[in-house]
Chains A and B, each alone.
Chain A
Amino acid sequence: MISLTSYAFVSMILFSIGVIGVIARRNIFVIYMSIELMLNGVNLFLVTFARYYFSMDPQIITIMVISIAAAEAAIFLSVIILLYRSKKSLDTDIFTTLTQGEK
């Protein structure tokens, strides 16, 4: 049986790749995918816990996360389309003009 530590290690790697993707990439689609990666990293960890401790609670949270991620994806994709229409770009640095103050 694969140990808990190995699962935890894989989910940490997934999460970290997601974090780095959010911070380092400028393409908003890649950022979105990185966020999904972070969520999946957490999901994997939760499911591992559920299996090891024979508890359904982490699984419930996982289902919650997946459904919220789906809802988020719907909103996120529509927002991206709107932003793209107004700016003709997927570069997040351009979207800093959404701030209240002058830039």
Chain B
Amino acid sequence: MTDTSLLVWIILAPLIGSILNAGFYFYHVKRRPIPELVFSLIGTITPLIAFLITLNLFLSMLDNEVTYRQELFTWLNIENLNISMAFLGDKLAIFMSMFVTFVGWLIHIYAIGYMTKDEGFGKFFSYFNLFLASMLILVLADNPVILFIGWEGVGLCSYLLIAFYYTDKDNVLAGNKAFIANRVGDFGFLLGVVTLFFALGGVDLSFSSLESNISNASTALLALSGFLLFVGAMGKSAQIPLYVWLPDAMAGPTPISALIHAATMVTAGVYMVSRFHFLYSGIENIGIFIAYIGAFSALFAAIIATRQQDVKKILAYSTMSQLGYMFIAVGLGFYSSGLFHVLTHAFFKAMLFMGAGGMIIALHHEQNIFKMAQHRVQLPIIGITFLIGVIAISGIPPFSGFFSKDAILAAAFQEGEYLIWAIGVFTAFLTAYYMFRMYFILFVAPNKHTKNYVYTSRTITIPLLILAIGAVGAGFLNLPSTLGGEHMVDTWLMQTNSTEVHMSHATEYILMVVSVLVALLGIFVAYKKYANFDVYNPEDEKGLIANKFYVDEIYNVLFIQSLKKLSSFIDKTIDMKIIDGFIMNSCNQFINIGKKVAMIQNANVRFYALFMLVGMSCVFIYLYISLGL
């Protein structure tokens, strides 16, 4: 049983959950405490409902070719601008919302265990549900304007959640940074939509009508629009140069990091480019531009990650790096490969973050990997799942990361972009290296204290185990034909005009062997260097790489300090001296005139009599002359 009207309930379910939780939280704060169980139930059941509806739609889509479209009401109708509040459930959207709701739901469950006994438990779940709802609005939007609502919604929620521990100034600053960096991107996105509207003139703004009218528009405007939209993607998906917020975003509680990195927010950029595939395929060179931005982001982030010490920041940079791979894929037109990597990445990155969060709790909020290793605790489930995640992201078959990453590398190779391919392979080496560096330090390097600590919360371990299955097995969903698979994801998503990989099996085998060897080499180097590392003597934090290439500092000088100087110049010189000077001066002139007038009114009766006399004389003279008397 499927009905188009179910579509909107995918969004409404978490939204209602958010509102309910917010209401209960107010009651909790103002009147009397409500047990955490209430918040947990609302907070986790609503994403589950969203997931079940999505699953229902997905299963009925498997049987017959349908595209769900639900139009709720006309939102704006001004002359030839027509925007309706409509949601679109095509294959791309349903594919995306499948794992957004599923992984999101698991992260919600995990958050129960992670956030327990936190003061703002209810508030957290309210924000969390809102985050999921915003992401689903973004995914299921039928036109760019609705997409923008979700786009802004995830930006808002990321701000609220990164600055969740608002009593700590650093967290609030990190939240601000995420918000402002995203705002730069959002501005680009908004301009892109406006440009698109002007390029196409008076058409219904839904994706389907945009697609059918795209050939009528001028190429220059379309190129501009495509570029501006991609600026939005740079902000959301943390690509060069708008990535600086992502590492700082680690200030929030770990479930948020998992949600931002796995299922929402950062994948929005990749999704948006895939959504606008009809636009990007029509513009020359922009695909290559996107692919190069992705490649350099991947490399840059991977280099920085090799010297970071904060476990969550390493994971954050790895996300940025993996997003770079996704942009290589969508830039080159291999949308399904990019989205497939989004899918596998969602599983293993959520798992890695959850594992890191579990360890961080067990170690009383210690995040430096060297210090964590000094007080190692035995966490068997987290240890195993973390290893699975590290292997998956490093690209060792048959774990999921291998298939998705390899598909992207093969695509780059086939397109003849050998530089991108080489960067990708080198980044794969670095990825294996830095992920295993973290793993060896955290779990293998010798130390003196090893405490037995069994974390009992099932809400933390069960989602981890489910995600582990996904991280291992998700790769088989899109098994390439070379390995006897059927390209299931590719075939299913083929409606997005994705380019297919066609190359000889021999080449494909060689590419696979190369990437596996490179990954193994990375692991080997990491093993040599860190398996017997003295964790009591950690690496220093000096040097270009450990300081993240001083990009934050450069931005600080380039944008923040220069703007501050400009502002203070405007304040001190233009405002105080010129404008205030002008206004104050004219005021003073009036005061002076007033003082002169006041001299006449000196309360001297005899003067008044004199004035009266003079005045009367003038009147009489006037009358005498004018009346001719």
* Contact present for A96 and B613 (CB under 8 Å): no
* Contact present for A99 and B613 (CB under 8 Å): no
Q: With A and B bound together, what is the CA distance between A96 and B598 in angstroms?
A: 14
User: Inside 8 A of A74's CB, which chain B residues have their CB?
Assistant: none
Q: Give a binary string over A23-66; 1 marks a CB under 8 Å from any B CB, 0 the rest.
A: 11110000100000000000000000000000000000000000
Total A residues in contact with B, Cβ cutoff 8 Å = 16
* Contact present for B609 and A92 (CB under 8 Å): no
* Contact present for A96 and B603 (CB under 8 Å): yes
Q: For residue A99, which residue of chain B has the nearest CB? A: B603
* Contact present for A22 and B609 (CB under 8 Å): yes
CB under 8 Å from chain A, chain B span 581-629: 598, 601-606, 609-610, 613
User: Inside 8 A of A17's CB, which chain B residues have their CB?
Assistant: none
Q: Which of A23, A97, A103 has the largest number of chain B CB atoms within 10 A?
A: A23
For the side of the interface on B, what is the size category? 10 to 19
Q: Give a binary string over A8-22; 1 marks a CB under 8 Å from any B CB, 0 the rest.
A: 000000000001001
User: Inside 8 A of B604's CB, which chain A residues have their CB?
Assistant: 92-93, 96
Q: Does A98 contact B (CB under 8 A)?
A: yes
CB of B597 to closest CB in A, whole Å:
13
Q: Give a binary string over A61-78; 1 marks a CB under 8 Å from any B CB, 0 the rest.
A: 000000000000000000
Interface of B is mostly: helix
User: Inside 8 A of A93's CB, which chain B residues have their CB?
Assistant: 604
Q: For residue B605, which residue of chain A has the nearest CB? A: A92
CB under 8 Å from chain A, chain B span 321-357: none
* Contact present for A22 and B603 (CB under 8 Å): no
User: Inside 8 A of B610's CB, which chain A residues have their CB?
Assistant: 23
User: Inside 8 A of B603's CB, which chain A residues have their CB?
Assistant: 96-99, 101, 103
Q: With A and B bound together, what is the CA distance between A23 and B603 in angstroms?
A: 14
Q: With A and B bound together, what is the CA distance between A101 and B602 in angstroms?
A: 9
Q: For residue A26, which residue of chain B has the nearest CB? A: B606
* Contact present for A23 and B613 (CB under 8 Å): yes
Q: Give a binary string over B64-90; 1 marks a CB under 8 Å from any A CB, 0 the rest.
A: 000000000000000000000000000
Q: With A and B bound together, what is the CA distance between A99 and B602 in angstroms?
A: 8
* Contact present for B613 and A19 (CB under 8 Å): yes
User: Inside 8 A of B609's CB, which chain A residues have their CB?
Assistant: 19, 22-23
Q: For residue A103, which residue of chain B has the nearest CB? A: B603
* Contact present for A31 and B613 (CB under 8 Å): no
Q: For residue A93, which residue of chain B has the nearest CB? A: B604
User: Inside 8 A of B602's CB, which chain A residues have their CB?
Assistant: 96, 99, 103
Q: With A and B bound together, what is the CA distance between A71 and B613 in angstroms?
A: 25
Q: With A and B bound together, what is the CA distance between A49 and B28 in angstroms?
A: 99
Q: With A and B bound together, what is the CA distance between A22 and B605 in angstroms?
A: 9
Q: With A and B bound together, what is the CA distance between A93 and B603 in angstroms?
A: 9
Q: With A and B bound together, what is the CA distance between A95 and B607 in angstroms?
A: 13
Q: For residue A98, which residue of chain B has the nearest CB? A: B603
Q: For residue A31, which residue of chain B has the nearest CB? A: B606
User: Inside 8 A of A92's CB, which chain B residues have their CB?
Assistant: 604-606
Q: With A and B bound together, what is the CA distance between A95 and B603 in angstroms?
A: 8
CB of B363 to closest CB in A, whole Å:
76
Q: For residue B610, which residue of chain A has the nearest CB? A: A23
Q: With A and B bound together, what is the CA distance between A95 and B602 in angstroms?
A: 11
CB of B182 to closest CB in A, whole Å:
61
CB of A15 to closest CB in B, whole Å:
11
CB of A22 to closest CB in B, whole Å:
5
CB of B586 to closest CB in A, whole Å:
24
User: Inside 8 A of B606's CB, which chain A residues have their CB?
Assistant: 22-26, 31, 92
CB of B435 to closest CB in A, whole Å:
83
Q: For residue A20, which residue of chain B has the nearest CB? A: B613
User: Inside 8 A of A101's CB, which chain B residues have their CB?
Assistant: 598, 603
CB of B483 to closest CB in A, whole Å:
100
Q: With A and B bound together, what is the CA distance between A24 and B609 in angstroms?
A: 10
CB of A27 to closest CB in B, whole Å:
11
Q: For residue B606, which residue of chain A has the nearest CB? A: A23
Q: With A and B bound together, what is the CA distance between A18 and B606 in angstroms?
A: 12
Q: Which of A95, A96, A98 has the largest number of chain B CB atoms within 10 A?
A: A96
CB of A8 to closest CB in B, whole Å:
15
User: Inside 8 A of A22's CB, which chain B residues have their CB?
Assistant: 606, 609
CB of A92 to closest CB in B, whole Å:
6
Q: For residue A22, which residue of chain B has the nearest CB? A: B609
Q: For residue B598, which residue of chain A has the nearest CB? A: A101
Q: Give a binary string over B284-318; 1 marks a CB under 8 Å from any A CB, 0 the rest.
A: 00000000000000000000000000000000000
User: Inside 8 A of A25's CB, which chain B residues have their CB?
Assistant: 606
Q: With A and B bound together, what is the CA distance between A20 and B55 in angstroms?
A: 109
CB of B591 to closest CB in A, whole Å:
15
CB of A34 to closest CB in B, whole Å:
10
Q: With A and B bound together, what is the CA distance between A92 and B602 in angstroms?
A: 12
User: Inside 8 A of A19's CB, which chain B residues have their CB?
Assistant: 609, 613
Q: With A and B bound together, what is the CA distance between A25 and B606 in angstroms?
A: 8
Q: For residue B611, which residue of chain A has the nearest CB? A: A23
CB under 8 Å from chain A, chain B span 498-557: none
Q: With A and B bound together, what is the CA distance between A51 and B350 in angstroms?
A: 121
Q: With A and B bound together, what is the CA distance between A31 and B606 in angstroms?
A: 9
CB under 8 Å from chain B, chain A span 71-96: 92-93, 95-96
CB of A17 to closest CB in B, whole Å:
13
Q: For residue B616, which residue of chain A has the nearest CB? A: A19
Q: With A and B bound together, what is the CA distance between A93 and B601 in angstroms?
A: 13
A residues in contact (CB < 8 Å) with B: 19, 22-26, 31, 92-93, 95-99, 101, 103
Q: A22-B606, A92-B605, A99-B603 are in contact. List 7 more A-B contacts (CB 8 A).
A: A23-B606, A23-B610, A23-B613, A31-B606, A95-B605, A96-B604, A101-B603
29 residue pairs from A and B, CB less than 8 Å apart = A19-B609, A19-B613, A22-B606, A22-B609, A23-B606, A23-B609, A23-B610, A23-B613, A24-B606, A25-B606, A26-B606, A31-B606, A92-B604, A92-B605, A92-B606, A93-B604, A95-B605, A96-B602, A96-B603, A96-B604, A97-B603, A98-B603, A99-B601, A99-B602, A99-B603, A101-B598, A101-B603, A103-B602, A103-B603
Q: Which 4 A-B pairs have the closest CB atoms?
A: A99-B603, A96-B603, A23-B610, A22-B609
